[in-house]
Amino acid sequence: MRKSIQIGYDGLFALKCALAAKVGFKEISLNCSEVLDKSESEWEAIAEDIRAILEKNGLHCSQSHPYYYDLLLSSEITEERYEFAMKQAIITSAKLGAQWCVFHPRSSITSGFSVKRSLEDNKCRFGEYLELAVKHGTGIAAENLPVFDGIIPVMPFYSSNPEDLIALVDSFNDEKMAICWDFGHANLMCFDQAEKIREVGKRLQCTHVHNNFRVRDDHLTPDQGDIPWGKVMKAVREIGYTGALTLETHCRYDTPALLESFAKHNYACLEFLESLEE
């Protein structure tokens, strides 16, 4: 199975790409969550900069994670500057050859959490993203979110129930609208993750791989935490998943030697997960 790692576009992007390639990665996921308030011409320059860095290191951008709203900002509220950044990230992703742009579904929470209102709001916003993505030659993937105990009051977020995520994706009836399965987010829920992956089935087209101990959304490496990877990877194999295993682990180091060690360890973790499919 293809192996990928998410890298944010920031001051360390070039270094992290070089180190990812050095330890064996051929693909990356581009994180644009820190790219905001850039003009269209600046986005064009960003695309060219990323393209040059990827080509230099023999890397391919297979998916992206555009800018995303604060989870506590209710879904009926939109911000022009955020929407512009998200749509420019879609266009940039397509230019780089990414197959999928991963978005967080948003939740209607102004008057208490509403599944019905959340679905309608997300259909509206994702409809715009999907239209733009198809126009430029890429696709949109909606990501499963968890319930975060650290947010008071504790509340669900739309897509923490995979059935709601399935309803959103199926409402478009478009092969360019898919699901990104976040294993760490799923682990924070009390359901059987392997069973839910089977329910998602062919809708699952990209992933976010990380781990935790079901307390916080720590984004730990796969070997740290309590995800039952054997059962989970069996389910991934059974649904015929052919996309990349894309790491979304958080590195707290910024020195070259430690970044390289972190990248090498992450690659080894993916090799282990891959072996569980055999």
* Strand 27-31 relative to strand 3-8, pairing: parallel
Q: What is the pLDDT of residue 29?
A: 98
User: What is the token pair recorded at 105?
Assistant: 């579904």
The amino acid present at 37, given as its one-letter code, is: D
Condensed to tens digits (0 to 9), the pLDDT of residues 75-97 reads 999 999 999 999 999 999 999 99
pLDDT given for residue 64 in this prediction? 98
* Segment 110-142, tens digit of pLDDT: 888 899 999 999 999 999 999 999 999 999 999
b/e for 146-174, b at 16 or more Cβ within 10 A? bebeeeeeeebbbbbbbebbbebbeebeb
Q: How far is CA 105 from CA 59, 151, 241, in A?
A: 29, 17, 22
Q: Is the pTM of this model over 0.85?
A: yes
Query: Which residues in the chain land under pLDDT 50?
Result: none
The predicted structure's pLDDT at residue 253 = 87
Residue 149: per-residue pLDDT: 75
pLDDT of residue 269: 98
In words, the CATH class of domain 3-275 is alpha beta
Predicted pLDDT of residue 204 = 98
